[in-house]
A and B are shown apart, each in its own frame.
Chain A
Amino acid sequence: MTPSDISAVWITLKLAFISSAILMLIGIPIAWRLSQSHWRLKPVIEALVALPLILPPTVLGFYLLLAFAPDTLLGTGWQQLTGTPLAFSFSGLVIGSVIYSLPFVVQPLQAGFEQLPRDILEAAATMGAKPLDRFISIVMPITKRSFITAASLAFAHTVGEFGVVLMIGGNIPGATQVVSIALYDHVETMNYVQAHILAGGLLVFSLLLLTAVYWGNRGARLWR
């Protein structure tokens, strides 16, 4: 692997870790609210969350690129806050990845929460457990499979993303160039040996991660 390939791997892992962490942080409350809500407009929110599943990544990337431009509210706000532009930056990649992978976190969590027997939460409340306590002591252990699935899918999906990164990342080696883009570059320059290493690596990594997820879910009941 060339030094720029190694840094691409490093950037990809960093992006996947940070994005997954942020995704879990915002995905859990969104999934919880959706699972508990009977709001009339809930399908609209669900559709918005699911949009990245069917939208070509380039569409999302295009709009993000426009939103990140220095003359927009988001672009100027970010520039004033951090002193660096958002477009073609690592932070921009994180924002893009989070939006892009959101359904992969929200959907398994929401499905898990919806299966949870609600009445045992009432029972916990009558024993003095406050809402956060109930979530940690009852909801999380019972739906832990959903948490593992959500986190794994968020990570794997961020590692594998291409279109959004291509549109908003700028392909800057050492800063925003991720593995999937580096692979694309190698193929463009007919550098098939390098391409094989990255492509094979991604293939094996993704297969292993998914196998681990399904292995863990094998015969899993809702609890224990």
Chain B
Amino acid sequence: MTLRTAIKLQRVQARSRFELDVDFELAAKGITALYGQSGAGKSSILRCIAGLERQAVGTISYGDHQWQSTRQQVFVAPEQRAVAYVFQDNRLFPHLNVEDNLRYALRRRYASHGPDINDAVEWFGLIALLAHYPAQLSGGESRRVALARAALSAPRLMLLDEPLSGVDKAGKASLLQAIRHLQQQLACPMLYISHHIDEISQIADHLMLLEAGKIVSQGPLIELCSRIEESLAHEQDAAAILQCRVVANDAAFDLTELLCGDEQRLYVSQSQLRLHQLVRIRIPARDVSIALSRPDDSSILNILHTRIDALEDTHSGRVLLRLNISGQYLLARITRKSALQLGLHKGMSVYAQIKSVALLNQALPVGTLDHE
């Protein structure tokens, strides 16, 4: 399904004036993250897509369905768009208990097939909460109910607005896992808002960057993270994301060995990973340093042989490097002085010393959601 959106929305509040002006086409599949700072207009885009902003001017269509066209005077009501929305403030119905909140969506679901109550209760660990009223739930519990309720609508498209906000750290990991699982179960495309890049790098396939009401770029997550001309790579926490395969578990040293591309090996702290499983790792640009020859007297374990693919001066005494590792990219941020002393240039062969590697989308045992 292709989501086409060309929308202008103006909102004048007290003294601030906000203008959303976006025009994008998105092959909606998997999870697409909408990333930007607070006030960039992320929620406004979702609200327009859901049909909750009647003042928005422009066109929105999804597959063959035209949802809005100001010129043709078309505006499909939200209840006819078959879109489910998980709001940042959950919006559970206060007069219904958890079970009836779930049934509310189930009774009105958009498709004849879909998950039933038992599925949703199992995915989000709600069995003990069914008789509770929303006022009795914690933030994390409410969020799980809201997600389960949205799933029971059997929608064509799911919109999630900061679904991890207000959830504690342990809850976040299991909720991410549950959302991933949900996406696979429903096979329903998701648009996912967040202003935390680490959260996005764990869950998204595709990324859209939003700044001050405008889309500045979009593309596959892994590719976008390594585009050094984009603002994303220049952020303090900029990081590259790589796809690797688990090749060995080294019990003696509590390490897991990953293969990146055909020959480059990386070690991470041992985890419950299956052999040959594909994993994503995240390597912050500031944790990568450069050496011209392979250092054999370093405590750093992960040293990769790479080629400099691009250099970009960040105008703050730093240089951002993009390094090619068998077709994937690594980012390194070093001082301009070092770059000059080493005489770094495009195409040069160097060694990247990696101080920290974060394993993303760790497989969690089923049932972890019951204990938040």
Contact = CB atoms under 8 A, between A and B. Distances in A.
Interface stretch (A60-68, A116-124, A203-211): A116-124
Interface string B80-104: 1011110101011111000000001
Contacts of B91: 119-120, 122-123
A124 B95 contact: no
A128 B94 contact: no
B109 interface: yes
A78 B160 CA distance: 58
Nearest to B97: A224
Interface string B126-146: 000000010000000000000
Contact of B108 (A117, A119, A127, A223): A127
A124 B104 contact: yes
Given A123-B85, A224-B133, A130 B79 contact: yes
Interface residues of B, number: 26
Contacts of B110: 128
Contacts of A133: 108
Contacts of A125: 51-52, 77-79
Interface string B44-59: 0000001110000000
Contacts of A36: none
B94 A222 contact: yes
A130 B89 CA distance: 22
A51 interface: no
Interface of B: 50-52, 77-80, 82-85, 87, 89, 91-95, 104-105, 108-110, 133, 149, 153
Question: What 3 pairs across the A-B complex have the smallest Cβ distances?
Answer: A123-B91, A128-B108, A126-B85
Interface of A: 117, 119-120, 122-130, 133, 137-138, 141-142, 222-224
27 contacts: A117-B94, A119-B87, A119-B89, A119-B91, A120-B93, A122-B87, A122-B91, A123-B87, A123-B91, A123-B93, A125-B77, A125-B78, A125-B79, A127-B149, A128-B80, A128-B82, A128-B108, A128-B109, A129-B79, A129-B104, A129-B108, A130-B77, A130-B79, A137-B104, A142-B94, A223-B94, A224-B94
